[in-house]
Amino acid sequence: MGNLQGKVALVTGASKGIGAAIALELASKGASVAVNYSGSKSGADKVVAQIKAAGGKAIAVQADLSNPDSIGPLIDAVSKQLGPINVLVNNAGVYEFGAIDAITPEHFHKQFNVNVLGLLLTTQAALRNFDPKGGSIINIGSVAAAGVPAASTYSATKGAVDSITVSLAGELGAKKIRVNSLNPGMVETEGVHTAGIIGSDFQKKTEAETPLGRIGQPEDVATIAAFLASDDSYWVTGQTIRASGGARL
Catalytic residues: 154
Query: How many whole angstroms from its chain centre is CA 14?
Result: 8
Please state, in angstroms and rounded to a whole number, the distance separating the CA atoms of residues 46 and 41.
8
Give the CB-side neighbour count of residue 176, counting CA atoms within 13 A: 10
Residue 33 near residue 56 (C-beta atoms within 8 A): yes
Closest CA relative to residue 17, chosen from 160, 201, 147, 140:
140
The helix (H) or strand (E) run that includes residue 110 is helix 105-112
Q: What residues form DSSP beta bridges with 184?
A: 243
